[in-house]
Chains A and B, each alone.
Chain A
Amino acid sequence: MKFPRPSAPTLLLLPAIVVLAAVVIVPLLLSFYSSFTPFRLTKPDTFFVFVGFRNYLTILSDWNFWVAFGRTVLLLTVALNLEMLLGLGLALLVERASRGQRVLRTLMMFPMMFSPILVGFQFKFMFNDNIGLVNNALQALGLTDTAIPWLIEGHLAFIAILTAEIWSSTSVFAILILAGLLAMPREPIEAARVDGCTPWQTFRYVVWPFVMPFAYIAMTIRSLDVARAYDIVKIMTDGGPAGRTELLWTLVARTAYSDARMGLANAMAYFSILLSILFTVYFFRKLAAARSQIGAEW
């Protein structure tokens, strides 16, 4: 039997296709397929049992899943908004620095240089109710005389995680917005001052519309980041106490590896990806609108 000779382009693309298939396409298809099976890591045979949408129905009717989903959206919303406000403030301050701006810019990026795992450990220590810096400081300042159970009470733990998340990632916003500020032409700002704007009005009507696309780029990047938040939470609370800080991906990981229910976990994962896609689409739309508004040529 004789195979038809493949064309030169096909032949040249083949190595790339093989690599892609091995590392992306096949795992993607397999995991997607497994979300339709009751696959358990401990029982390999279950991989070949097809159950249709049962996993999806299970998670959609599972209250714990929806709580984790909602909490992830909440974390995303609060963290992104706070990070943007803080990042904007930082960027505006650094932009005004007349000397040492390079040093400040580098310093600003420090939190991004640490592994999230280490950030998690550091904040776990700081928020520790017995030996942590936070309680220590609060007590030393006489603001409280009790040991506040930061990582044990559900709401406080959420705040602690939020703090760690914001500390480590505000600089993403700061740097992108600073890039926008530095790229901004000076004359419209001066024109606004002559046109009668107070500094606040100048910011509101002239500077902000210009840096908005940069903020949306940061939003897009960070929404993907937070939607897959795992490491900081894993270290600080591991989803506890009693699931009070469980996020989508800690739940997925627990289901997949502790409970060994890989099929169900994959169904959760595919559903969660929807969330990320939704946010990305939303911010890209906003970005496109903001860009066309300022007549950006990039």
Chain B
Amino acid sequence: MATVTLNKLEKRYGATPVVHGIDLEIADREFICLVGPSGCGKSTTLRMIAGLEDISGGEIRIGGKVVNDLPPRSRNISMVFQSYALYPHMTVRENMGFSLKIAGRPQAEIDKAVAEAASILGLEQLLERRPSQLSGGQRQRVAMGRAIVRRPEVFLFDEPLSNLDAKLRSQVRTEIKKLHARMQTTMVYVTHDQVEAMTLSDRIVIMRDGHIEQVGTPDEVFKRPATHFVAGFIGSPPMNLFEATVADGGLAFPGGATLPLPARFRQNVTAGQKVVFGLRPDDVYPAGHGLHSGDAADLHSAEFQVAVTEPLGNETLVFASFDGREWVSRMLNPKPLRPGDKIAMSLDLSQAHLFDAATGRTLRN
């Protein structure tokens, strides 16, 4: 049980900065995800917390104690690696008991801890096998078992599901969530998959180019993205984001189309300002085929031309053009549409986002 504090944490390789002095406070027993595109510094940050990378600047505290100069073994952490990192020459039992054996614990205690972890993860039947005799999902569970056995203060996960196929991924994802509920331990989880981040975390940290873009609950980062980047990164399919210019109470798009400027942004923009307008696929839908969540006055109608549709059963993604650009729309209770059809779309502007084109920051109050 411990908090983790990053204070102006920096990482440089030679002269190249990779992590630019980030601050983050992770609460005790919190499940936090570091998410971002590859190269954003999320794995480096995790490895610095683990002690596998040197820290170039700032400090890391685990449970209030500065651990900058402590080797990984003295930080009381466990880590689950993307490639599982099991010891190939040891059986599942030996893999899981290894850390306790190294610590010189009595055999009875090791057996008990391994048996307990094995029962949590359903590994009882596999204890005498070697990693090479296991499937990917089983290896991943052994890697988690190895982490559990240590009873660490902090669990670190480095993209643990990347090597699994889609079905197994969602299954193990659920197991990790159950594990967190059961273990009541601080967990830091790195992923590039925003779905994993959304489904697992208490809070999400979205990183980009070594900076933190936003920290918030899944709900916050989805509904109130702080930047243009977060808006585009979180959500699947991604938010429709298009550049526009503020012009007398409206938004002028490059192709000549205009949309009214939602009232809540009026205070924060000036005429002629370049902005990025964003609307989630759920908030653009063929008239009558979506969920309207706001004031009817904010519902704007426009004519779109269908380019292609992707039926998903209970809903259909419609790719349609407006102002010469392709928008994505989520159509509930689908009706058949053919490419080239002209349809009236409802744009729920009460849900629209507006970002400053220069800084990328939200123009919401």
Contact = CB atoms under 8 A, between A and B. Distances in A.
A190 B158 CA distance: 12
Query: Which secondary structure characterizes the binding site on chain A?
Result: helix
Given A195-B73, A196-B99, A295-B130, A206 B52 contact: no
A210 B102 contact: no
Interface stretch (A125-133, A197-205, A267-275): A197-205
Interface residues of B, number: 28
Contact of A194 (B72, B87, B103): B72
B85 A188 contact: yes
Contacts of A294: 88-89
Contacts, number: 74
Nearest to A296: B88
Interface string B76-98: 01110111111111000000001
A222 B83 CA distance: 35
A185 B89 contact: no
Q: Which of B78, B84, B89, B130 has the most CB of A within 10 A?
A: B89
A190 B85 contact: yes
Given A205-B98, A295-B130, A295-B132, A194 B79 contact: yes
B98 A187 contact: no
Contact of B87 (A193, A196, A206): A206
A191 B85 contact: yes
A185 B72 contact: no
Interface string A280-298: 0000000000000111110
Contact of A191 (B71, B79, B89): B79
A210 B90 CA distance: 11
A190 B52 contact: yes
B210 interface: no
B73 A198 contact: yes
B99 A195 contact: yes
25 contacts: A187-B82, A187-B85, A188-B85, A188-B86, A188-B88, A190-B81, A191-B79, A191-B86, A191-B87, A192-B87, A193-B71, A194-B50, A194-B51, A194-B72, A194-B73, A194-B78, A195-B98, A196-B73, A196-B99, A196-B102, A205-B102, A295-B88, A295-B130, A295-B132, A297-B132
Interface of B: 50-52, 71-73, 77-79, 81-89, 98-99, 102-103, 130-133, 146, 150
Interface of A: 185, 187-188, 190-198, 201, 205-206, 209-210, 293-297
The list of the 5 closest CB pairs from A to B, nearest first, reads: A295-B132, A187-B85, A195-B99, A191-B85, A196-B73
